[in-house]
Every structure is written in structure tokens, then in C-alpha cells.
Structure 1
Amino acid sequence: MDDVLLGDLAAEHQVLDDLVAPLSAEVWATPSPSPGWTLAHQIHHLDVSEGAALLALTGRSDQIFSSGYWPGPPLPADPAEVLENWRASRAASLEAMFALDAKDPVIWGDGPMTCRSFATARLMETWAHGLDCFTTAGVEPVDTDRIRHVAHIGYRALPYAFRSQEVEQPAPLSELRLELVSPSGQAWTYGEDGAPQSITGTASHWCRVATRRMAAADSDLVTHGPLADAVLTVARAYLSDGAPT
């Protein structure tokens, strides 16, 4: 597998671990931005998701999507147990990814994706739920250029986003250019040069909109054209609101 990608995934794990590990039990029990979920629920969800990831990576996807796997076991009462469970499950799924080739298929949801794409999705989920945890803890997150993986999957998932929400595209996606500024000031672009419609702004805000952590109206993203407007309405970098996010 891609050592850089998996290194970035491990780094996102550690950033979130460093945030939540020293927090008091009171903060772990604080409501998060997800209705009905505390900070502990956020980490527990990541633990359950990593357990599902390990099943998928080891050829046992049928145990996830056809057997009532979700929402997983009950939330442990002790935050220390929640954290240790997540540490163990993420280590196991990372180890399984390191053992596979980047192009090896992993069955997830409706069909297969490459192991590289699967690892990217794991990073996206960790980062997105990490934002919820930072908000709950009252700490401002610091974005890094690791979010390029989130920006990429947000763009690549646009056909699925339109299809799954039954929204008709005003124009082919080939007519869209995405021009983003990374946290370090680099230019990240997606789509063809000279495309007639565009979305411009910071990668940080694009990633938040694509993971439904920020409303497009609250972002710095600027659209040109009806397709671009529609993209900000449907953008979603994960399967569905009822599946692991």
C-alpha cells in the first residue's frame, strides 16, 4: 500500500487521540454537533467503523452490510475503555491495509473500491468526526495538507452524490473546475483547464462542506454556474446519512 497515505491516516488518528486522551469524563459526556451523540459516541463510532473496516479488508464484508452490524456494540461507560477500543481497532485495520496492494479490491457498500480509495475514506471519516470532537472540546483544529485526501474524495464522489440524492446534474461534471487553496498555500485543482463552471475557495471549507460539517452558505467557496451551485448542494464524501460517515 501507499506508505504516504497510510502515514497520513495514522497521523490523523494521532491528532484526534492527542485531543481526546487528556479530556475529563465530563467532556467525554458533552453533547457533540451530531444530535444525540456525545464526544464518547464519536470515538465509539470510529471504533465500530474500524472494526467494520477490518472485516472488509479481510474479505468479510458480508458480515457488515447484510447482518445488522450497525450501529455496533453498546457504548462503554468508561471513556478509557472507549479510547483503548479505538486504539486497538484502528491499529488492526492499518496493519491489514499495509499488507494489501493499493489496487486490491475492498467490498464496501454497494460494490468494490481499491484499497487506496478505502484508506482515503478512512482518513476522511477520522478527520470529519475529529472536527466534531474538536468542537465539543472547545478547541480550534489546525488543518494540514493531509486534507488533500478529503478534498480528492469529495470531488471524486460527486457522481455518487448526485445519483444517491436523485438530483439531476445541470451539466456534465466535465464542465466543472475546482480551484482550492491548501492550508499551506498551495493551489489544488480538479477538473479540466478552461472548464466553463467553477468553484473557488479554501480546501478547508471545501472539505467541511463535502463532509457536511459546514453549510455552503457559511463557507468562503465561490461558485460560477448552475452546476457549481448544484455541487455545493449535493456534495457528500461518504455513503449516506444512515451509514458510517
Structure 2
Amino acid sequence: MDISRALDVLEETATVLDRAVSELPPRRWLRPTPARGWSIANQIGHLAWSDSMALQAVQRDPEFAQFVKRVLSSEVSGFVDRGARERATLPVPQLLREWRAGRSELRDALAVADPAARVTWLGPPVLPRTMVASRTVETWAHALDVFDALAEDMPATAGVQVVAAMGVRTRESSFRARKIPLPEAPVRVELTVDGGGRIAFGQADAPERVLGSAWGFAAVVTQRRNIADVELETVGDGAARWMRIAQAFGGAPTNGPTPGARLAWHQ
């Protein structure tokens, strides 16, 4: 997928969420979401904040480079929640405008970025195409938080395939973050997508498997669903262990929901 198509997929994912929240009266932006302590306004505030951080990174803003150094040296903490909280206090129309403007600016900056030049980030430096994929994963995951809070099904987007690919790519880091040895047996992932298509990752003759829906896999690796609540099955102990700790995003290791926890939001 080239950068132009990847940016289209990112914007498609954001637009699905934008349409859902833009129709809500301001009081419903205060509705809690499955993310503890976060309202819908916090979710949008977080995306606006993280888009602004990504824009600073792509533009190689010296202040952002200094911020990363402070984060890596543990001089600052709680900045993710703080960024979401600060924006969540804005009037809804202003928050929406800032989120939309930030998405547009980031898209323009990534479209012209040197594809071979790595960008400083909150972790290892990344290529622009990886930055786009990471933004898609984060946008998709937080969109699902909002749709769960509204007890609505999230519309299908091509973003689910990007999330699935990132989920496979982060298999090793999911184990490493927990200081657990990576199982030796390779895993083949075979998934169905909306419309009847199929995507697959890994060796065709791998002895272990993860099989099922791309949506279910994406929801598990972003820790928005327990594997017991989606159309997904594993073959082999290593594959099963992976799905219990899968984490398609960076940061400290976290745990996904217990069986049924997220489905309860739809009752």
C-alpha cells in the first residue's frame, strides 16, 4: 500500500468516527466510554492531541525532540491523559474543528515527507508509512471505544486490514514487553474481511494458526475485545498465548478486557 492510499484509509477511519460524534448533542460527549475515566470528549481530545504530536514529529519540531528526550528519561509522565483532558474541556464545536484541522495538516505533512527518512517518535524512530499505520491503528481503536459507548456497531472500513497487519507485526514485541520468551513455533494468520475477501500473514506451512474474522483479530490485538467474544480461534499453544497478550500499540504492557466486558456496553 503506497502512502497516498494509506492516508486515504486513515482518513476513512477517522471520518467514520467524525460522522458519529458530529451528530451528538454536546451533553452526550460527556458519556463515559469503556476506557476508564474517559468520556467521548476525552477520546476525541486524545486523537486531536496525538495527531498534533505526530505533526510536530513529522515537521521535525525541535521542541518535540526535547519532549521525547524528557519522556524517555522519565522526566514527564501522565502526558497522554493530560493531553486528552485538556482538549476535552474545550467547547464541542472547537474540539471538532481542532481535530479536523489537525488531521488535515498531518495528512498534508505525511504526503510530502521523505519516505526513507525516519521520524523521531515516542519509541524507536519510524518511517512515514509506519506513522500512518500507527495513526490508523489508534484511530480505529478509539473509534471502537466511542461506538461501544454509543452501543452501536462500528461501520466497516479498510482500516481493519491495517490494524490486522500491525497486530501481526507486533507479535514479538507483545511478548518482549512482558519479558516472556517468544514461542519458537511460527504462526500463520488467516482472516476473512467484509465482502468475502481473505488476508493472510506468515508461512503457509506454519504449525500454529489464528483463524477467523479480520475485525475480530483487530479488536483483540487492540485490546478492545476478548478472544472469547469474537469470531476467532487458535491452533497451538503459542498462538493461544499470543492472543491473550497481543498489543498492537506501543507503551507499557496492558491487558485486554475480560470475556463479555465490552459486549455489555451493547446491552
Q: Same fold (TM over 0.5)?
A: yes
Q: Which residue number in structure 1 is paired with residue 174 of structure 2?
A: 161
Displacement after TM superposition at 1:226 (Å): 1.1
Moved more, 96-105 or 194-203: 96-105
Displacement after TM superposition at 1:161 (Å): 1.1
Q: Work out which of the residue numbers 123, 127, 136 in structure 2 matches 1:110.
A: 123
Q: Which residue number in structure 1 is paired with residue 134 of structure 2?
A: 121
Alignment of 1:213 with 2:214, yes or no, is no
Q: Which residue number in structure 1 is paired with residue 242 of structure 2?
A: 231
Q: Which residue number in structure 2 is paired with residue 192 of structure 1?
A: 203
Cα RMSD of the aligned pairs, angstroms, is 1.8
Distance 1:77-1:55 versus aligned 2 partners, 3 A rule: closer
1:67-106 pair list within 5 angstroms: 67=70, 68=76, 70=80, 71-72=82-83, 74=86, 75-106=88-119
Q: Which residue number in structure 1 is paired with residue 43 of structure 2?
A: 42
Displacement after TM superposition at 1:219 (Å): 2.0
What's the secondary structure of 1:87's corresponding residue?
helix
Q: Percent identity?
A: 29
| C-alpha distance after superposition, 1:162-187 (max 9, x if no partner) | 11121222325xx1100100122111
What's the secondary structure of 1:37's corresponding residue?
coil
How many correspondences in the alignment?
241
Distance 1:155-1:242 versus aligned 2 partners, 3 A rule: closer
Instruction: Give the whole-Å Cα distance in 1 for the aligned partners of 2:116 and 2:219.
Output: 27
Q: Which residue number in structure 2 is paired with residue 65 of structure 1?
A: 68
Task: Say if 1:179 and 1:198, in contact at 8 Å, map to a contact too.
Answer: yes
**Structure 2: tracts of 5 or more residues without a match:** 71-75, 255-267
| C-alpha distance after superposition, 1:96-142 (max 9, x if no partner) | 10111333312222211211011001011111100111122232112
User: TM-score if structure 2 supplies the norm length?
Assistant: 0.85
Task: Say if 1:180 and 1:202, in contact at 8 Å, map to a contact too.
Answer: yes
What's the secondary structure of 2:188's corresponding residue?
strand
Q: Which residue number in structure 2 is paired with residue 32 of structure 1?
A: 33
Distance 1:154-1:35 versus aligned 2 partners, 3 A rule: same
Displacement after TM superposition at 1:242 (Å): 8.4
| C-alpha distance after superposition, 1:140-171 (max 9, x if no partner) | 11223331111101100111111112122232
Task: Say if 2:212 and 2:232, in contact at 8 Å, map to a contact too.
Answer: yes
What's the secondary structure of 2:113's corresponding residue?
coil
Distance 1:63-1:24 versus aligned 2 partners, 3 A rule: farther
What's the secondary structure of 1:112's corresponding residue?
strand
Distance 1:22-1:63 versus aligned 2 partners, 3 A rule: farther
1:172-183 pair list within 5 angstroms: 172=185, 175-183=186-194
Q: Which amino acid aligns with 2:37?
A: G
Displacement after TM superposition at 1:38 (Å): 0.4
Instruction: Give the whole-Å Cα distance in 1 for the aligned partners of 2:253 and 2:247.
Output: 13
What's the secondary structure of 2:24's corresponding residue?
coil
Moved more, 132-141 or 178-187: 132-141
Task: Say if 1:53 and 1:93, in contact at 8 Å, map to a contact too.
Answer: yes
Task: Say if 1:55 and 1:64, in contact at 8 Å, map to a contact too.
Answer: no
Task: Say if 1:52 and 1:64, in contact at 8 Å, map to a contact too.
Answer: no
What's the secondary structure of 1:20's corresponding residue?
helix
